[in-house]
Amino acid sequence: MTETYRIVAGVDGSAPSRAALRWALWHADLAGGAITALMAWDLSPIYGWAPDDAGHRTARTLQDVVHEVAGDSRVPVERVVVQGGPAKALLDAAADADLLVVGSRGHGGFTGALLGSVGQHCVQHARCPVVVVREHR
C-alpha cells in the first residue's frame, strides 16, 4: 500500500494564502497528492465573539476560499479548522506531511514585510520542506 503524498497548505483568506493554495493544488496534481487546507483562529476575549461564532466564521471562510481556488480540481482537499495560533497549528498539522505551503504574508503584521511572522516561524521550525508562495501580481 502506497501512502499519499500529503501537503499542508495554510489559508487565512488573504491573497498570498490563496496563491499558496493554488500552488499547492498544482504541485499535488503533479505529485498525485492530497492537500490539507488549514485555517486557524484565535480570538482574545476583548473581541466579544463567542468561540462557536469564530469557529463557524473561520470554517465558512475556509470553505469559500477552497471552493474559489480549487473549483473542480481533481486533487482531494481536506478542510481543517483549528483553534489556536496559526504557526503552531500549521507545524502540528505538517509534523507528518511531505510539504508545508504558506503565503508570503497574510493578514497579520505590517504589510511591507517580505515574509510574515507565521511563514518565518514555519520555515525555521517545520520538520518537512516549506514552500513560501508570493502573491502573483
What residue type is assigned to position 105 of the chain?
R
Q: What share of the chain is helix, strand, coil (3-state, %, to 5)?
A: 40, 20, 35
pLDDT of residue 85: 92
pLDDT of residue 17: 94
Per-residue pLDDT of the chain (137 residues; tens, 9 = 90+): 458 999 999 999 999 999 999 999 999 999 999 999 999 998 766 556 666 688 899 999 999 999 999 999 999 999 999 999 999 999 999 999 999 999 997 555 444 445 578 999 999 999 999 999 987 66
Q: Which of 5, 1, 3, 11 is nearest to 27 (CA)?
A: 5
Widest CA span in the chain: 49
Q: What is the pTM of this model?
A: 0.87
